[in-house]
Amino acid sequence: MFSSQVAVVSILLTLVGAEELVFPPGFKFGAASSAYQIEGAWNVSDKTESIWDRALHTLPWMSTDGTNGDVACDSYHLWQRDIEMAEELGLKFYRFSLSWTRLLPNGFANKISEDGKNYYDNLINGLLEKGIEPLVTIYHWDLPQSLQDLGGWTNPLISDWFEDYARVVYSLYADRVKTWITINEPVAICDTAYSMGTFAPGIIHLESVYLCSKNVLLAHAKAWRVYDEEYKPLYHGKLSICNHWVWFEAHTEDDEEAAELSRQYSVGRYTHAIYSNEGGWPPAIEERLNAYNVLHGYSHPRLPPFTDEEKELVKGTYDYYGFNYYFSLMARRALPGETITPHYVAGIRELGIVMEAYPDLSPTLPPAFYKYPEGLRKHISWIREKYGDLELMIAENGFYSTGKMNDFDRMDYMHDCLEQMLLAITEDGANVTGYSYWSLMDSFEWNESGLKFGLYHVDFNSTERTRSARASADYYKTVIKNHALHSPRP
Ligand SMILES: *[C@@H]1O[C@H](CO)[C@@H](O)[C@H](O)[C@H]1NC(C)=O
Ligand SMILES: *[C@@H]1O[C@H](CO)[C@@H](O)[C@H](O)[C@H]1NC(C)=O
Ligand SMILES: *[C@@H]1O[C@H](CO)[C@@H](O)[C@H](O)[C@H]1NC(C)=O
Ligand SMILES: *[C@@H]1O[C@H](CO)[C@@H](O)[C@H](O)[C@H]1NC(C)=O
């Protein structure tokens, strides 16, 4: 080849190579938080107790170190600094959640707190002034204790209470908030809470898992329909429920069925009713659980069936597909007589499936966090195979480390996950339109308060809760600015 041809070829190669690392035009980057984990101010003004306030004040096993979210990052007072950080990073959106008891002290919609309303007004307006879109999660686990006293997510009336709450929220903020998540991670709300007791309300009760699963879906659907009918014509926003953080891989080739059942059980149980054409529970899960019920002498299905009317109510209640991704587990069929240790989805025991960490991945930190970025791309393919070519948004993806400022492990994780996401977009043709890092800053991490996920370090020993950018904050900022992915390593 002549040298000019070589030059052309090498320019083309550079372009092709570079193209893979560039995010699609309009792709949005954000960072996330949730009310209980950052706001603090648990008892200011007329705010009442949430189930997390109650649990961490009264149940000793809920906290490894006796701390709670009473003050957390004190974002109730320091929200201006939070906006400043979002601006420093160049975020297109900031995902945060509303505290139900801060807005509706009674849990019911008969009284709106003036201070609660103003707090979120200020936050939303402050973000918009900086050109940052608010992405609002209506429910991120902090149920009013007053409603828990009535059975919480196991009481079928909760779907109406949630609908009322959502209607208040839209009436206050839908003019400015265009992207919504109704409910974050139902598997944590129903399964982790009621099967492990490690999340509020800290009750271990398997039947409650299934009542909760159905009620969460009905609550989401009713809230989605209120928006769709009353607010979408005016404001054209979009809503999704937000699912799950784990991808399940088959242990061996023979375990593909076990892996697929695990996906259907822990993801499909909260998506099939909404995104599938037929609605209702994933058939394989309904069948297996019913068989288990019969075998164990139950006269009613413990996973409550949907009526046809309920199926229609829930089906199609989405505008996009929001999900979180953190790590992956391996699934295999239990050996005869094998004891299955409880997991965050305890019902998996009824399916005779064992979930384990990847044998060839060592945990980066105790408790185990098995980094497997490829699981993100696989999860995306699974969603598209099941539900078609939806608009997808990664609403959380994050990594915890010991709290150090030079957090190369976090940057590597972000890089590797973003790379897998880009492969899903460029190679597989997935329409992923946004990515939100969890979390903007170190937060109060529920039953494991010491975990540090933040792009910003928070000094929890200082009354000022001083926030400082970690190296990962600078990395993310550059990725956002370039709208392209580069290695964090020199
Ligand atoms: C609010 O809770 C804190 C503990 O986090 C306590 O010290 C304070 O007295 C409480 N304030 C009110 C008004 O009850
Ligand atoms: C916190 O909850 C998670 C989810 O159930 C569980 O895996 C973990 O072991 C719990 N941590 C502690 C310290 O109890
Ligand atoms: C992705 O989804 C968005 C929102 O629905 C839509 O506007 C866009 O055209 C889609 N992009 C592709 C490549 O399908
Ligand atoms: C913060 O306080 C905890 C104990 O309350 C202590 O273990 C830790 O070292 C302190 N951190 C700093 C940076 O002072």
* 426 within ligand 3 shell (Cβ under 6 A): no
The β-bridge relationship of strands 353-356 and 391-397 is unpaired
166 falls within a domain: yes
Confidence of residue 346 (pLDDT cuts 50, 70, 90): low
263 falls within a domain: no
Amino acid at site 95: R
**Residues with beta carbon inside 6 Å of ligand 2?**
64, 192, 196, 198, 344, 367, 447-448
pLDDT digits (tens, 9 = 90+) for 415-469: 999 999 999 999 999 999 999 999 999 999 998 888 899 999 999 999 999 999 9
Confidence (pLDDT) at 219: 99
More confident residue, 358 or 45: 45
Extended strands (E) in 14-159: 28-32, 93-97, 133-139
Instruction: Count CB neighbours of 349 within 10 A.
Output: 18
User: From the CA of 56, how far away is ligand 1's center (Å)?
Assistant: 14
pLDDT digits (tens, 9 = 90+) for 199-245: 999 999 988 999 999 999 999 999 999 999 999 999 999 999 999 88
Question: Where residue 146 sits, what CATH number does that domain have?
Answer: 3.20.20.80
Strand order in the sheet with 353-356: 246-250, 327-333, 353-356
Which residues are known to be catalytic? 185, 396
352 falls within a domain: no
For residue 446, give the ligand 2 atom closest to its CA. 1
Confidence (pLDDT) at 1: 38
Closest CA to 381 of 432, 329, 312: 432
What φ, ψ does residue 346 adopt, rounded to 5°? Answer: -65, -30
Residue whose CA lies nearest to ligand 1 atom number 14: 43
221 falls within a domain: yes
341 falls within a domain: no
More confident residue, 2 or 482: 482
Q: What is the mean pLDDT of residues 169-190?
A: 97
Residue whose CA lies nearest to ligand 3 atom number 13: 431
Residue whose CA lies nearest to ligand 1 atom number 6: 43
User: From the CA of 13, how far away is ligand 3's center (Å)?
Assistant: 28
Position of tokens 């890089």? 415
Beta bridge partners of 136: 96, 180
338 falls within a domain: no
| Residue 7 pLDDT exceeds 90 | no
As a whole number of angstroms, the distance between CA 279 and CA 64 comes to 40
Q: What is the mean pLDDT of residues 314-324?
A: 98
| Residue 339 pLDDT exceeds 90 | no
| Residue 167 pLDDT exceeds 50 | yes
**Residues with beta carbon inside 6 Å of ligand 1?**
43, 70
188 falls within a domain: yes
**In Å, what is the CA distance from 316 to each residue of 151, 307, 403, 475?**
28, 16, 42, 38
pLDDT digits (tens, 9 = 90+) for 354-411: 888 776 555 554 444 677 899 999 999 999 999 999 999 999 999 988 789 999 999 9
Confidence (pLDDT) at 359: 62
Residue whose CA lies nearest to ligand 3 atom number 2: 391
Q: Which two tokens stand for residue 135?
A: 């992405």
3-class DSSP state of 383: helix
* 431 within ligand 3 shell (Cβ under 6 A): yes
User: From the CA of 43, how far away is ligand 1's center (Å)?
Assistant: 6
pLDDT digits (tens, 9 = 90+) for 92-116: 999 999 999 999 999 999 999 999 9
This prediction's pTM: 0.94
Domain range for 244 is 4-251+372-482
Closest CA to 274 of 347, 195, 219, 348: 219
411 falls within a domain: yes
As a whole number of angstroms, the distance between CA 102 and CA 234 comes to 27
The overall average pLDDT reported for the chain is 92
* 391 within ligand 3 shell (Cβ under 6 A): yes
Please tell me the total count of domains within the chain. Answer: 1
Q: Which two tokens stand for residue 138?
A: 């209506």
Residue whose CA lies nearest to ligand 2 atom number 3: 198
Closest CA to 129 of 168, 94, 180: 94
Confidence (pLDDT) at 194: 92
| Residue 9 pLDDT exceeds 60 | no
Ligand 3 pocket test, pick from 383, 394, 431 with the greatest ligand atom count within 8 Å of Cβ, gives 431
As a whole number of angstroms, the distance between CA 199 and CA 62 comes to 7
Q: Which two tokens stand for residue 398?
A: 């994050």
Q: Backbone dihedral region of 300: left (phi > 0), alpha (psi from -120 to 50 degrees) or beta?
A: beta
Confidence of residue 246 (pLDDT cuts 50, 70, 90): confident
